[in-house]
Each structure stands twice: as structure tokens, then as C-alpha cells.
Amino acid sequence: MATLSAKCMKENQMGNCGADDRVAAAAAAAAADGNDDDDGVYKRCCKVGVIGAGAGGLVTARELIREGHSVVVFEKSTTVGGVWVYEPEVDSELLGVKSDRKRVHSSMYASLRTNLPRELMSYVDYPFLPRNGRRRDGRRYPGHQEVAFYLQDFAQECELLDFIRFGVSVEHVELEMDRPDGEISWKVTTRRRVVDGFEEVVEEEVFDAVVVCSGHFSEPRIADIPGIDTWPGKEMHSHNYRDPQSFTDKSVVVIGTGASSDDISRELAEVAKEVHVSGRSWKSSVEFAKPVGRHQNIWLHSMVKCAHEDGTVEFEEGSSTVADVILHCTGYYYYYPFLDTKGLVTADNKVGPLYEHVFPPTLAPSLSFVGLPQKVIPFPLSQLQARWIAKVLSGKVQLPSQSEMMKSVQAFYAQFEASGSSMHHLHYLQGDSQFQYDDWLADQTGSEHLETWRLKMYAIAGQNRSDNPETYRDIWPDDDLHEEALSSLRKLDTNR
């Protein structure tokens, strides 16, 4: 039976599917064969623009194509992988506050190894197992390049490359509400560099739906430090940290207690004179006055209180140090300079309002976001989000009404505020809550829940990281679980 999705698949093969085609196809297919698929469920083919070909954009393209939509992925760089594609270059301004600075996308430092075991990072149906080959890294917590290779393998083996327009930057995504059929569409304006960047081509194209997968680890957020204007040292953000060489014999204040701060402060301690790590969230057992760990030149401090003209940095617990550099490992803003929703969606420390971190109620399902949650395992979570989006767009899965979605968002905000958590952390899914969210997403599309080994392994890996911050990547306590995971992933590999 000729169905709409079959038509979309054909258009996907041709790399094109106009909105007008969609309407014509709908009429033709409905007249000829009815418009249901093999399950007897109405299926719609949408022309979908996906912004970004990182881990989120690739898996979104895959799920959309599987569902029979017509897909175009815009990627401003020349390759897939997003943040995992290491760039030796840095922003033209190292703190990342000047809006006219020349930007790089990746925040990877040269020595970065994953902070999650690779089995956990596997997509739902595409295992991240060691592979033979030049420059491949078989370690359980591999270097960044191995993750980039995994994403390249995924794009190639799932035949996604033909759907990606490389070197094309999305400049403007504008809401268009005046379609005769009353549906929303999006005008996407792109800029393509041709011939080594010497010529630029601006193009416009209309899409039924846009999925934003542009990442959220590129726009630095920095700590506010009283007195910093007259402080004579150098400030930078971890987004622009690549290696420790330029910190040799320096005294460095590192602000932040996340994964990057952990790694970078240890790496700096190998060459710097002193490293002072300032954080809001140390456990009460932390002793501020003594050096910590293997390195006898790392000190922990409370928050930075202020900085002075003579180079001193003061901490809230009362100590101070004269520092050469302040390195902000303080996270990132959500930032979508291209997105024009007429104020219906805003982004800063959070994106909202969003139903279940994905759909803005007033623009659903034509606009959606993949990969916003933090403190999670992003690859499988993004895949479950993408699958939900794909099936909502095709009409196989229904969303609640706009007002019900809005009520749900408001209830979530109220509950969040009442818990005393900072609204900065609205997309944090701490502890088991990410797995509850994953299960909820899977239920929306009738997919299987993630395997139970993932939940157990995540808990053990987190504890190991916290107990053994220097060695957790090479010594682990879950051999049995590791075996179980490998055997489950190998089965996927052979079934593929």
C-alpha cells in the first residue's frame, strides 16, 4: 500500500520534500489508498529541519527517517560529532563574554576522557563497544576522539550522511503562522560557506517542523566577582581551556566543582605553582586549610568573595591568595541566537516553557528541543526524546492539549521552586530521576525501557568517581555488571 511515509522515504532518498508536496501527497495518498500505515494509524510525513549534527542531531535524524519524515540536517562545521570534535583553536576572547568574539563550538580539552563508562553512553540500539583500528581507543572511559569516531561510525552505518548539509550555519529560524491550513511552519535562513570560506550563500527554506539540537556547552556562564574590574590577572572560561602548558608556575584559582573543574584542576596541579579550587557545594567534611589528594598544591575554598587591585583573591571562609589566573569552570547558558519564536520560548539558564524538556506547548509539535537535560547520560536520553518527537510529528502519538501541557509545565515549575532548587537547575535530572524520565519517554512510543544494568552501572560509576576521583577511569568495582552490559550490547551488535 502506498502510504504518506513511503512517499517521504522516497523524497528522503532524493534529499528533498517540499511543504506543498506534503499537502499534495496527503491529498493524493488519501484519495488513492487511505492515509493509514500498516498499523491502521494515520501517518503524516513532515518536512523537518534538524539543527546540528552532534550526538543529539544525528540520532534525531535517524529516528525521524525511521518514522518516514523528510529530513534535512544543518551542520555549521564540516563533520559530525559536535562537542566531541576537538578543536585546538579557542574563542578570540577567552572569558567568552564579548558577543562579537569569534567562537569555536567544542569545549573539549586535549586530555579529556569520558566521565561515564562507554557502555552507558551507547545509544539504545547502537553499542559503543571497542573497535579495532588505527587511533581507536578501547578503554572503558575513552578519550574524546573515540567518542567522535563512535558518532562518525553511527552516522555512516545508519546512512545519515546524505541528509546532512555540512558547512551550513542556521542564521535565523522564524515562526510563520499564516498557512492556509492553519498549521505552523518555520522559515529557516542559512549561510553556506563555499570555496574555503571566500564566498557565502544565503538560502531560505520552509519546514513543517524544526528540531533544535545545537548543543548547550558553548556559551560560557561566568561567576560574578566583586572587584574583578581592577584585579590585574587573567580570566578565562573552561570552554577555552585546552592544555596546561601556559599555566606553568602560575597560581590559579579554579571556580566550580563539576567534572571539568575536577579534571582541569588536577591537570593544572602538575605544572602550576598552586591551584585553589573554589566551590559552593563542598561537603561539610572538606578542610579548607590543607592541600588535598595526591597533589600537595591543590587547596579547596568556599566561594570567591572578591578580588583586589594587588592581585589578591579573597574567599568567603576567610583565606586569600595572590593569583595569576582565574579559570571559570562555571557552566554554560542555553543560547539560540538564531531562534525567533516571537517571545514564546526564552533561553538563558533554562529553556522554557517546555513540556517534558522537549515541546513548547504553544508551538508543539512543530518546534522541539533534544538533549537539554543535564546530569544525565545524554546519548540514550536524546534518542528516546527523538523517537517521541518523530512519532508525535507523524501523528502516531498524541500530545496532551496545549492547555494541559501548559498546566503540566506550571506544576513542574511550582514544584521545583518549592523544593528550594535554583531555577538554573531546571533541566537537571539528578539521581534516578533521569531513568524515570527515560522510562516515561519510552512509554510514550511503546518502546522498551532502558536495560536495568544501565541504572545500576550509573549508580556504581558515580560512587566510584566520587570515592576515587584520581583513578575511577581505570579501576572499577563492577566487573560482573560490566560483563552483563557487554553481553547485552554484543547481542545488539549482532542483531543490527
Asked if residue 380 binds ligand FAD (CB under 6 A), the reply is no
Per CB under 6 A, the list member of 3, 122, 185, 214 interacting with ligand FAD is: 214
Mark the segment that binds ligand FAD (CB under 6 A) among 52-60, 269-277, 428-436, 482-490.
52-60
**Cβ at position 360, least distance to ligand FAD in Å:** 18
Rg (CA), the chain: 24
**Cβ at position 52, least distance to ligand FAD in Å:** 2
| # binding residues, ligand FAD (CB under 6 A) | 34
Task: With residue 7 as reference, give the H or E element that holds it.
Answer: helix 4-14
What are the grid coordinates assigned to 330, written together?
Answer: 562555571
Asked if residue 261 binds ligand FAD (CB under 6 A), the reply is no
Report the residue number, 55 or 225, with the smaller CB distance to ligand FAD: 55
Q: Is the Cβ–Cβ distance between 298 and 291 less than 8 Å?
A: yes
- For residues 250 and 269, give the distance between their C-alpha atoms in angstroms, rounded to a whole number: 10
Which residue has cell 536520553?
381
Per CB under 6 A, the list member of 47, 48, 56, 265 interacting with ligand FAD is: 56
Q: How buried is 427 (Cβ within 10 angstroms: 0-12 exposed, 13-18 middle, 19+ buried)?
A: buried
Asked if residue 292 binds ligand FAD (CB under 6 A), the reply is no
Q: Of residues 395-454, which lie at the interface with ligand FAD (CB under 6 A)?
A: none
Per CB under 6 A, the list member of 17, 48, 51, 275 interacting with ligand FAD is: 51
Asked if residue 371 binds ligand FAD (CB under 6 A), the reply is yes
Asked if residue 107 binds ligand FAD (CB under 6 A), the reply is yes
Pairing status of strand 164-166 against strand 168-176: unpaired
Best CA proximity match to 188, nearest among 89, 34, 52:
52
Asked if residue 35 binds ligand FAD (CB under 6 A), the reply is no
Asked if residue 149 binds ligand FAD (CB under 6 A), the reply is no
Indicate the Cα dihedral angle 98, 101, 103, 109, nearest 10°.
-70
- For residues 16 and 339, give the distance between their C-alpha atoms in angstroms, rounded to a whole number: 23
Per CB under 6 A, the list member of 22, 43, 62, 76 interacting with ligand FAD is: 76
Strands (E), 219-288: 234-237, 251-255, 274-278
Per CB under 6 A, the list member of 121, 255, 268, 298 interacting with ligand FAD is: 121
Pairing status of strand 312-315 against strand 199-207: unpaired
Asked if residue 221 binds ligand FAD (CB under 6 A), the reply is no
Binding site for ligand FAD (CB under 6 A): 51-57, 74-77, 82-84, 105, 107-108, 112, 114-116, 121, 169-170, 213-215, 217, 260, 338, 371, 377-379
